[in-house]
C-alpha cells in the first residue's frame, strides 16, 4: 500500500526516530534505526551500546514505543534483529 498518507506517516516516523536516536546516542551510546513500516507495524533496530545492554527491552518498549505511541497511537513498535 503506497498511499500519500502512508508515505507522510512514514516520513514523520523516520524523523521522530532520528531525534530519538540522536538522544540515545548522545546520552547512552546506542542507536535507533528505522527498518520498515507497513501502516500498522513499525520495525526498528537498536544498535551501538544498546546491543549488549540488559536494559534494551526497557529502551525499546519504554522510550521508543512509548514515544511513538504518543504521536502515533495506532502504530505498534517491533524490534527487528
Closest by Cα among 24, 5, 3 to 72:
5
pLDDT digits (tens, 9 = 90+) for 24-64: 999 889 999 999 999 899 999 999 999 888 988 988 988 89
Cα–Cα dist 40/75, whole Å = 5
How many domains does the chain contain in total? Answer: 1
Cα–Cα dist 58/39, whole Å = 24
Is residue 63 packed enough to be buried (19+ CB in 10 Å), middle (13-18) or exposed (0-12)?
middle
**Which positions ≥6 away from 57 have C-beta within 8 Å?**
none
pTM: 0.84
Strands 30-37 and 41-48: what pairing?
A: antiparallel
Confidence (pLDDT) at 3:
60
Q: What is the mean pLDDT of residues 7-31?
A: 93
Residue of 4 and 62 predicted with greater confidence: 62
Cα–Cα dist 72/10, whole Å = 11
Domain that holds residue 38: 4-79
For position 40, which CATH number holds?
Answer: 3.30.300.130
Amino acid at each position: 500500500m503506497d498511499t500519500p498518507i502512508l508515505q507522510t506517516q512514514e516520513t514523520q516516523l523516520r524523523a521522530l526516530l532520528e531525534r530519538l536516536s540522536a538522544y540515545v546516542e548522545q546520552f547512552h551510546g546506542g542507536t535507533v534505526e528505522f527498518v520498515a513500516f507497513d501502516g500498522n507495524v513499525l520495525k526498528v533496530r537498536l544498535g551501538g551500546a544498546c546491543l549488549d545492554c540488559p536494559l534494551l527491552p526497557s529502551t525499546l518498549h519504554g522510550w521508543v514505543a512509548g514515544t511513538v505511541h504518543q504521536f502515533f497511537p495506532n502504530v505498534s513498535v517491533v524490534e527487528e534483529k
